[in-house]
Amino acid sequence: MQDTQIRGNNGPRYRHKHSDSAPYENIRVEKLTPIIGAEIFDIDLTRPLSQAQQLEVHRALAENQVIFFRNQNITKEQHLAFGSLFGDFHIHPAAPHVEGLPALMKIHADENSIRANGEAWHTDVSCDQEPPMGSILHIHTCPPHGGDTLFASMYAAYEALSDRMKNYLNGMTAYHDGEPVYRGTYKNLGVIDKPEYPHAEHPVVRTHPVTGRQALYVNRGFTSHLIGVPKDESTAVLKYLFEHMENPLFQCRFRWQQHSIAFWDNRCVQHRAMWDYWPNTRSGHRVTVSGDKPFYRPI
């Protein structure tokens, strides 16, 4: 049996270094794991947030990479208003949206669906020249069991690599292609394919523009190959990285309830939605916040 644990001869190979931050004064933040994820309490997203609350939600996202809210029975307009606090909207290049609201993407799977959104590990629309900064998903209809979403820290995945591997990857670029991902994917929902879908070259190791930390930025969903190395080498290295970054050590798992919200930072997080609830229904909407062009800056 293959041993997938990360370990060494002198304790764990990845040792998370926790840094104490200043206390929150306007929201309550409860970590899910020491590495990634936190639930946010004492906040009502159906009402306008104070400036102090906004600043602390921004900070909670930066510190925890993905944040969760419970019991937020928001309208479509309130969902969009919350997303607008973090930047302009990113419009998905392929997925269906609510009529008249192109920034509000439909997330839905039921007994008649032939696929569900996000079944494989990925970073949202990394094939764009300027991929999304963050995604805000509100689920209003949940199955009685299942339908969890897994989130993985690409900070931790990078930090757990050996120094030799980091040196190899630092400064390298990879090709991200939307064509094989989106072509025909939404045909059953009546979506007509576009003449072409986005593609881009991005650094394999991405420097976060807010925290300055380094994160792996390749994913199974969109990354086809590494630039500047032979094909067989690219295939082997990407296979290793994909398996490495999916280690449960780097993950948290969120169990959805009706009117829960997840807000994840695509610059340092990958996610995977579990479709284990057929024939039940899981449904909601996603607002995606625009980002900037990924870059790598040596530390």
What string of DSSP letters covers 165-213?
HHHHHTT-EEEEESHHHHTTTTGGGTPPPPS---EEEEESEEE-TTT--
Cβ atoms 270, 152 nearer than 8 A: yes
Give the separation between CA 266 and CA 135, rounded to whole angstroms: 7
User: Which listed residue (271, 272, 282, 285) is catalytic?
Assistant: 271
Rg over alpha carbons for the chain, rounded to the nearest Å, is: 19
Is residue 96 within 8 Å of residue 191, measured between CB atoms?
Answer: yes
286 noted as active-site residue: yes
To the query of whether residue 225 is one of the catalytic residues in this protein, the response is no
Catalytic residue check, 122: yes
Of residues 79, 122, 225, 272, which has the active-site annotation?
A: 122
Distance CA 225, CA 24 (A): 42
Q: Which of 79, 90, 124, 177 is catalytic?
A: 124
Q: How far is CA 171 from CA 159, 201, 223, 281, 294, in A?
A: 16, 12, 16, 43, 12
124 part of the active site: yes
- Name the 3-class secondary structure at 105: strand
- Catalytic positions are 122, 124, 271, 286
